[in-house]
Amino acid sequence: MQTLTKISPEEYLENEAKADVKSEYRAGEVLAMSGAQLAHNQIVAALLRLIGNCLEGTNCEVFPSDMLLKLPECELFTYPDVMVVCGEIQLDKDRRQGLDVLLNPSIVIEVLSKSTADYDRGEKMRCYLTLPSLQQYVLINSESFDVSTYLRNNENEWLLKIFKNLSEKIKIGDCEIALEDIYKKVKL
């Protein structure tokens, strides 16, 4: 990602609604988002299919990385790789020229690469965990068989589970998904 300029959230949303490329907003800074490698895209495509099929007929929906998310506690607007919303979808009231901004994901999934892993596990994760609606945060490594899932419990604490074996199954919301299905087309 590359820093372009400092602007207000309103200016960012106005520009983003007209932009040809996606960018992230971090407390006044706009950062252009780069494309992803094959393994990253294969994992995201598998997740969208697997979770989408699992959620068929429920009150939950899965969204790809074109859905913008607002994280007000961190002054951050970002495009997670995959999000799931269960129940009523809440959008920011300050809509800009056809740009919808989601406020209430139940699940956020990020697919890690060398260039994003530290940010997704650090600053960005801390921001995601401030969302009252968020029940699960999932990190999937695109360069090794490694999945971490953070689950919010009834005491509002986050419990970490780590999966490294392709024969294991993970729960993403109510969906039980085999790691081998997530990584099926990925050549590591």
CA distance 128 to 112: 15
**Identity of residue 45:** A
Would you say 92 and 101 are in contact if contact means Cβ atoms under 8 Å apart? yes
All structural domains of the chain with their residue ranges? 36-182
pLDDT at 168 over 80: yes
- For domain 36-182, the question of CATH label 3.90.1570.10 is answered with yes
98 token code pair: 């056809």
- Give the model confidence (pLDDT) of 105-140 as tens digits: 999 999 999 988 999 999 999 999 999 999 999 999
> Taking the complete model, does pTM exceed 0.95, yes or no?
no
- Give the model confidence (pLDDT) of 17-64 as tens digits: 888 889 999 988 998 887 789 999 999 999 999 999 999 999 999 999
Would you say 14 and 30 are in contact if contact means Cβ atoms under 8 Å apart? no
